[in-house]
Amino acid sequence: QVQLVESGGGLVQPGGSLRLSCAASGGTSNSYAMGWFRQASGKEHEFVAIISASGGRLVYADSVKGRFTISRDNAKNTMYLQMDSLSPEDTAVYSCAAAARSLYSSTWYKRRELYTYWGQGTQVTVSS
């Protein structure tokens, strides 16, 4: 079974940057699309971004497009989320997830129940 562990969260001032990492173990990630969700206090889970197994396709939520960059290094079994121009609205617990599905088929990636593996999440707080 694949295990996912997030890291890199913390406290940052508005306008600052953070880079989150999602490390996979217990298997290889080269056959999985991998993405990020976030959940702010009192709010529902929100899709953030996803990257295809090969890294050839990237999809972002409108709320983060142009500010966040998703990437992956399959040799290291690690996915990254570079977050720039952060605002207090980005404050949330960020979780990574993986699914053996193609991003060239449909918009399934917004449905949490279609992901097979999940990490525990890492807290990102944007505050002055």
Give the model confidence (pLDDT) of 20-66 as tens digits.
Answer: 999 999 877 678 999 999 999 999 999 999 999 999 999 999 999 99
Q: Please report the pLDDT score of residue 26 as a whole number.
A: 83
Quick one: pLDDT at residue 106? 84
Q: What is the DSSP letter of 30?
A: T
Answer whether 4's CB lies under 8 Å from 97's CB: yes
Contact (CB, 8 A) for 28 and 77: yes
Question: What does the pLDDT read at residue 104?
Answer: 87
Give the pLDDT score at 60: 97
**Model confidence pLDDT, tens digit, residues 68-125:** 999 999 989 999 999 999 999 999 999 999 999 999 888 899 999 999 999 999 999 9
Smallest CA-to-CA distance from 87 within 118, 124, 52 is with: 124
Report the chain's mean pLDDT, rounded to a whole number.
Answer: 95
